[in-house]
Amino acid sequence: MPLSNVPGETPPSSRREFIRSSAMAAAVAVAAGSAGVALPVLGNNPSCAGGGSDGSEVVWNKAPCRFCGTGCHVQVGVQEGKVVAIAGDINAEVNKGLLCVKGYHVGGILYGEDRLTVPLLREGDGYVEISWERAIGIVADRIAAAPKRFAFYGSGQWTIPEGYAAQKFMKGGLSNNHIDPNARLCMSSAVTGFLATYGVDEPAGCYDDLDKCDVLIMWGNNPAEMHPVLFSRVIDRRSKGEVVTLIDIGTRRTRTTNQCQHYLEMKPHGDLAIVNGIAHLLIKNGTYSRKFVESFCNFKTQDEQNPNLHGKSIGFEEFCRLVEPYTPDYVEELSGVPAEKIRLLGDLFGNPELRITSLWCMGMNQHTCGTAINCMVHGVHLLSGHFGRPGDAPTSLTGQPSACGTVREVGTLAHALPGGRVVDNAEHRAHAEEFWRVPEGRINPQPGYHTVKMWEQFCTSSDQGGDIDTIWVQVTNPGQTLPNLNKLFNPKAGLQDKFLIVSDVYPTATTRLADLILPSAMWVEKNGVFGNSERRTQQWFKMVDPPGQARDDAWQTIAVAHRLMEMDNEGMKDRDGKFLFNVTGEDGQPVPVWNWENYYDVNVDRHLFEEYRQFTRMKHKDLAPYDEYVKARGLRWPVVEQDDGTWKETAFRFSEGQDPYVAAGKGIQFYHSSTKDDRAQIWFHPWVPPAEVPDEEFPLMLCTGRVLEHWHSGSMTRRIPQLVRAMPGAYLELNSEDAKQYGIRTGERVRVESRRGAVEMGAWVEGRGEPPRGTVFIPFFDETVSVNDLTLDAVDPFSKQPDYKKSAVRISKVSS
Amino acid sequence: MISSLVIHIANDPEIAKRVIGQINENKRLQHGPPIGNRLPLVLDANSTSQAQSDIEWLRNLPGVEHVDVAFVQVEDCDSRDSQKNKQSNAAEAK
């Protein structure tokens, strides 16, 4: 409801009073869990919330929030062709009407003053405006000149249809697997953890676990800032008198810590020791769940001769022998966590009456042992039987809105095909070739370059073996987010034979080195479908036009594909000679969707989604028809058709009575088990130190991360005045004792150096977070403080995900 | 700047009464009707730092379990100016 229509409100006498009354109405609405009040988003203009100058009313429609992987639904108010208001959606199960401070301002991301509105081609030190016709031709020419030396780099910000189009274009069209997403940097260790444990990706549980758990353990996770709406669900339970024990296991105190009964401050990589310590105690105390283990689990450890995700089978006795050394005292020595806190964890996991949920995100994933720690946290849940009941679940969260939907499910990774398939499996390739109707053998069986390798090859000159010449970036900002930028991105500036194409909505650290910049439509300027962290697929419709000549990313991909077909590239045709993206209208006739003027003559998203949906059944990740998502605030897969023709979602996988694919009488069934016996794998991995540790030269450990007010690289949230004012820039957070030692006070300028680079910024002594002595923290949202000049590019051996949390640095005060 | 806040208060009527009493003494804060354990608030501060300080004060009040910042309204604020300033600062630093 528009603010001016809030019942009982007296008309405000001044603009400030109006804002105050609006703010109170908003607070009341949030407190009541109501979506009845909308907030103005444009220029603080009260008229935005009421009737328009032409007397038009605000028209509301649903969309998932554009930011994180939580998947909150918002109601978007549109008037006179502009988004004028945002409200939490009370009908959304995820957020029940609540939004975080970013979500309430999400409409503002469309209206930064420096939106990209016309294609730009580098000419000398500057750019010239060019037509879309010419821009599409330039992209097609670069690809046609060397199709195997071309790479596509996207993210979990691609919508599902956008990612699917890019995937089909590359693997089904160009026979080129060099496509990878920014999500490689965020959650690929979660993927390998799920695969190695259950044989299939993505969590068994869902957000309902937060409403049911007795104990919530956050492993290197700060949901109070990164997933605040989810965290509020738990805090709300406590404020109503429910007993929920919150445990924070981390390397620095955060806002999450402040709400927890227990804070276990660990040394970096201490998590590996802690999990082994829990397993040790469960076995020593006889409190592991023998029944669960004997019924549903196998044991594994790594095959050192041939490291892979299947590992080496071991017996229970061997597992016991491997965890035997991890006594509470030894774990204290390795992790820094007091032995009595390890015993506390052991006792909690050893209590079958409790329901325990584990949450994690970047802290466990951005880890050179990311696959190992993911597997091991699943392992202690399995070993203790804390699995399969609502509230008893190990659950990873994602940072991007469709990291699950677009990356993990569509498979926009260098080794993957849609629906859990992989390129090096002949049967999987045959499935994809059939669904895409492309000739047999079209799909290349060799995995492409993962993100770090892709950029390393791009930033190496051709005569020195750098075999990626052209990269097309859509919906992400690698010039800010890649690790070790002085190796993986900045060298591009001196390589004349390399060509960088960037589709984006604003100038970024990536467009800075682009040769061709393509202006993109964003969020409700286009149709879209996202998939959130709890397997929930969410759809929305285009509500406003993009500015200037900005156009949909999927259209850009399809237009380039069509241009290549016109240039006689056979890969852009299917086996019947039809265009790879042949879209027909209601009359069955092809619609020329490669022409922008015709792109919205049909719903291209619906077409792509329905084609993609065929892929989803092999791994039991079944999606419903597109139109079912139009009606819902998202549905969690597998979504299965019922006898009466309705479609039913699944809250909890692998549990009888919840998951329709679990056979009657099984109780729990891991039906995609890698050992083909319906069992999950409990892994042992030893503690190992981080890839880089502080020394005399670089005596401090740097952890990077995020803040509440900004999302990802800040390219959107830094265009929202309210968020910028609330959190203006990056800072070096340090411990007061370290600050005293270095003679640094809050606000003073500090130089931070690693073996890879140096940056300067202001200091914040014991600011929002409190790092222990010897560690410092810098958020990465600020383009003007390139923290990834400092970070290490060492990766997990299986997921290829880098560790942004552990780089050795030194600091010094910058003299004025 | 004006902020909408929602605080979650411990499930104890005496504590809630005390928290509301302390909030009433802060002239920059105005509260709405309690809804269960949630209390809607408006914070009207002269600066970002004052607002942040007040929010920290709220967080540290005994009995306040959590503070949600639902909305922040800033008058005469221009993100581009802010970014330009910072970029120019960064350039100077180099």
Closest-CA residue of chain B to A97: B70
Contacts of B9 in chain A (CB under 8 A): 239
Reply yes or no on whether A213 is catalytic. no
Q: Which one of A156, A193, A399, A448 is the catalytic residue?
A: A399
Rounded to 5 degrees, φ, ψ at A178 are: -80, 65
Q: Look at the block and give the residue holding tokens 């439509």.
A: A521
Nearest to B72 among A101, A114, A760 (CB): A101
> How would you class A559 by CB atoms within 10 Å of its CB: exposed for 0-12, middle for 13-18, buried for 19 or more?
buried
pLDDT in tens, A150-167: 999 999 999 999 999 999
- Which amino acid, residue A558? I
Measure Cα distances from A783 to A373, A404, A480, A676 in Å.
31, 26, 7, 48
CA distance B46 to chain A (A): 12
Contact yes or no for A728 and B86 at CB 8 A: yes
Mean pLDDT (whole number) for A312-340: 98
CA distance A333 to A409: 41
A236 touching B, CB under 8 A? yes
B38–A239 CB contact, under 8 Å:
yes
Per-residue pLDDT tens for A780-796? 999 999 999 999 999 99
> Measured between beta carbons, which residues in chain B are less than 8 angstroms from residue A239?
8-11, 36-38, 65-66
Helix then strand then coil, in percent of chain B rounded to 5, is 45, 30, 25
Determine the distance in angstroms separating the CA of A28 from the nearest CA of chain B, rounded to an integer.
5
Pair of tokens at residue A297: 């689990």
Percent of chain A surpassing pLDDT 90: 86
Counting Cα atoms < 13 Å in the Cβ hemisphere of A224 gives: 22
Amino acid in position A505? V
Residue A400 is a catalytic residue:
yes
Q: What is d(CA A108, CA A611) in angstroms, rounded to the nearest whole number?
A: 33
Tell me: cis bond preceding A638? Omega within 30 of 0 counts: yes
Instruction: List residues bridging with A504 in a β-sheet.
Output: A519
Instruction: Assess whether pLDDT exceeds 70 at residue A42.
Output: no
Flag if B8 and A104 touch (Cβ within 8 Å).
Answer: no
Which element (helix H / strand E) includes A26? helix A15-31
- The per-residue pLDDT for A105 is 86
C-alpha gyration radius of chain A? 26
- Mean pLDDT calculated for residue range A111-140: 97
Provide CATH 3.40.50.740 ranges for chain A: 120-182+403-533+545-602
Q: What is the predicted pLDDT for the residue at A54?
A: 52
How many Å apart are CA A505 and CA A619, to the nearest integer?
A: 35
Report whether A449 contacts A124 (CB < 8 A): no
Three-state secondary structure of A513-550: HCCEEEEECCHHHCCEEEECCCCEEEEECCCCCCCCCC
Question: What pLDDT band is residue A12 in, cutting at 50, 70 and 90?
Answer: very low
Residue owning tokens 């069209």: A173
Answer for the pair A454, A180: CB distance below 8 angstroms, yes or no. Answer: yes
Q: Which chain B residues contact residue A216 at CB under 8 A? A: none
- Mean pLDDT over the full length of chain A: 93
**Looking at residues A652-664, what average pLDDT do you find?**
97
* Separation CA A329–CA A322 (nearest Å): 16
Which band of pLDDT confidence, cut at 50, 70 and 90, is reported for residue A254? very high
Q: What is the CA radius of gyration of chain B?
A: 17
DSSP state at residue B29 = E
pLDDT for A694 equals 98
Q: Residue A51 above 80 pLDDT? A: no
Residue A48: the pLDDT is: 37
Neighbouring C-beta atoms of residue A123, cutoff 10 Å? 10
Tokens for A94?
């995820």
The minimum CA-CA distance between B26 and chain A, rounded to whole Å, is: 16
Is residue A232 less than 8 Å (CB to CB) from chain B? yes
CB-based contact A240 B11, cutoff 8 Å: yes
Average pLDDT over every residue of A583-593: 95
Closest CA to A141 of A511, A501, A550: A501
**Mean pLDDT computed over A299-322:** 96
Which residue out of A1, A362, A459, A522 is catalytically annotated? Answer: A362
Reduced 3-state DSSP string for A27-82: HHHHHCCCCCCCEECCCCCHHHHCCCCCCCCCEEEEEECCCCCCCCEEEEEEECCE
Map tokens 């995100």 to a residue: A361
> pLDDT averaged over chain B?
75
Say whether residue A20 is in contact with chain B using an 8 A CB cutoff: yes
Q: Is A628 helix (H, G, I), strand (E, B) or coil?
A: helix
CB contact at 8 A, A742 and A132? no
Chain A stretch 88-147, residues whose beta carbon is closer than 8 A to a beta carbon of chain B: 98-101, 104-105, 112-114
Closest alpha carbon to A448 in A481, A480, A423: A423
Q: Indicate if the pLDDT at residue A452 is higher than 80.
A: yes
Please tell me whether residue A265 adopts helix, strand or coil conformation: strand
Nearest Cβ partner of A23 from B4, B8, B38?
A: B4
Asked if the Cβ–Cβ distance from A104 to B70 is below 8 Å, we say yes
Overall average pLDDT of the A532-552 stretch: 98
A749 contacts in chain B (CB < 8 Å): 93
C-alpha distances in angstroms, A193 versus A424, A643, B13? 20, 35, 46
Domain with CATH 2.20.25.90 in chain A: 3-111
Q: Hey, are the CB atoms on B68 and A22 less than 8 Å from each other?
A: no
Q: Please, which residues have CB within 8 angstroms of residue A83's CB and are 6 or more apart in sequence?
A: A41, A42, A76, A77, A107, A110, A111, A524, A543, A544
Domains of chain B: 2-93 (3.30.70.920)
Give the CB-side neighbour count of residue B37, counting CA atoms within 13 A: 23
Question: Per DSSP, what are the bridge partners of residue A760?
Answer: A751
pLDDT at A469: 98
| 3-state class (DSSP) for residue A167 | helix
Summarised one tens digit per residue, pLDDT across range A194-235 is 999 999 999 999 999 999 999 999 999 999 999 989 998 898
The answer to whether B93 contacts A720, with C-beta atoms less than 8 Å apart, is no
Token digits for A543?
Answer: 């509500």
* Amino acid A55: pLDDT: 56
- Say whether A718 and B37 touch across the interface (CB within 8 A): no
CA distance B20 to chain A (A): 15
pLDDT tier for residue A18 given thresholds of 50, 70 and 90:
low
Task: Please judge whether A23 and B6 are an interchain contact, meaning their C-beta atoms are less than 8 angstroms apart.
Answer: no
Buried b (16+ CB within 10 A) or exposed e, A646-685: ebebbbbbbbeeebeebeeebbbbbbbbbeeebbbbbbbb
DSSP assignments along A356-409, one per residue = EEEEESHHHHSSTTHHHHHHHHHHHHHHHT--SBTTBEEEE--SSTTIIIIIII
Q: How far is the CA of A624 from the CAs of A143, A538, A584, in angstroms?
A: 35, 11, 21
Q: Do residues A720 and A781 lie in contact, with contact meaning Cβ atoms separated by under 8 Å?
A: no
Which DSSP symbol is given to A771?
A: P
Q: Kindly indicate the confidence band of residue B72, based on its pLDDT and cuts at 50, 70 and 90.
A: low
Choosing from A102, A341, A573, A619, the catalytic residue is A102
A633-650 pLDDT, tens digit per residue, is 999 999 999 999 999 999
Where does CATH 3.40.228.10 sit in chain A? 188-396
The residues near A131 (Cβ < 8 Å, ≥ 6 apart) are A119
What's the pLDDT score for residue A583?
Answer: 97
Domain A700-813: CATH architecture, name and number where available? Beta Barrel (2.40)
Q: Which residues of A touch B1 (CB under 8 A)?
A: 722, 725
- How confident is the model at residue A436, as a pLDDT? 98
Q: What value does the mean pLDDT take over residues A273-301?
A: 98
Which of chain B's residues have a Cβ under 8 Å away from the Cβ of A725? 1, 48, 72, 74, 77, 82
- The C-alpha atoms of residue A140 and residue A560 are separated, in whole angstroms, by 6
Interface test with B, best of A21, A30, A727 (most B CBs within 10 A): A30
Q: Quick one: fold of A120-182+403-533+545-602?
A: Rossmann fold (3.40.50)
Chain A to chain B, count of Cβ pairs less than 8 Å apart? 149
**A280 or B53, which is more confident?**
A280
Read off φ and ψ for residue A561, nearest 5 degrees. -60, -45
Structure-token pair, residue A324: 């035997």
**Which of A32-41, A372-381, A634-643, B57-66 is predicted with the least confidence, judged by mean pLDDT?**
A32-41
Does B79 score more than 90 pLDDT?
no
What is the rounded average pLDDT of the residues A82-102? Answer: 87
Q: pLDDT digits over A423-437, tens only?
A: 999 999 999 999 999
Residues in chain B: 94
Confidence of residue A191 (pLDDT cuts 50, 70, 90): very high
Q: Mind listing the pLDDT tens digit for each residue in A261-283? A: 999 999 999 999 999 999 999 99
Q: Which of A19-23, A555-559, A668-672 has the lowest mean pLDDT?
A: A19-23
Which residue of chain B is at minimal alpha-carbon distance from A105? B71
Mean pLDDT of A336-348: 98
How near does any CA of chain A get to the CA of B50, in Å? Answer: 11
Is residue B56's pLDDT more than 90?
A: no
- pTM beyond 0.80: yes
pLDDT of residue B94: 27
Helix axes A370-384, A188-198, angle to 10 degrees: 40
Yes or no: domain A3-111 corresponds to CATH 3.40.50.450: no
Q: What share of chain A has pLDDT > 70, as a percent?
A: 95
Which residues of chain B are within 8 Å of residue A101 when distances are taken between CB atoms?
A: 69-72
> Is there a contact between B86 and A16 if contact means CB atoms under 8 Å apart?
no
Please answer yes or no on whether B32 and A259 come within 8 Å at the CB atom: no
Q: Is A65 a catalytic residue?
A: no
Q: Which of A184-193, A522-531, B74-83 has the lowest mean pLDDT?
A: B74-83
Q: Quick one: tokens of A630?
A: 């139009």
- Is A618 labeled as catalytic in the residue annotation? no
- Taking the Cβ of residue A585 and every Cβ of chain B, the question of whether any pair is shorter than 8 Å is answered with no
Does A248 score more than 50 pLDDT?
A: yes
Q: Measured between alpha carbons, how far is A7 from A74 in angstroms, rounded to an integer?
A: 22
Contact between chains at B70 and A101 (C-beta distance less than 8 A): yes
Q: Does the annotation count A362 as an active-site position?
A: yes
- Residue B59 has a pLDDT of 87
The pLDDT of residue A768: 83
Minimum mean pLDDT among A181-190, A635-644, A739-748, B4-13: which range?
B4-13
Highest mean pLDDT among A30-44, A88-102, A269-283: A269-283
Closest CA to A515 of A501, A535, A531, A532: A501
Please report residues of A whose CB lies closer than 8 A to that of B89: 784
Q: Which fold has domain A188-396?
A: Dimethylsulfoxide Reductase; domain 2 (3.40.228)
Residue A758 distance to chain B (closest CA, Å): 11
Structure tokens at A641: 């058709």
Cβ under 8 Å to B: A residues 251-290: 258-259
| List of chain B residues whose C-beta atoms are within 8 Å of the C-beta of residue A19 | 2, 73, 75
User: In whole angstroms, what is the distance from residue A783 CA to residue A163 CA?
Assistant: 26
Note if A538 is an active site residue: no
- The answer to whether A316 touches A383, Cβ cutoff 8 Å, is no
Is the predicted pLDDT of residue B86 greater than 60, yes or no?
no
Q: What is the mean pLDDT of residues A316-332?
A: 98
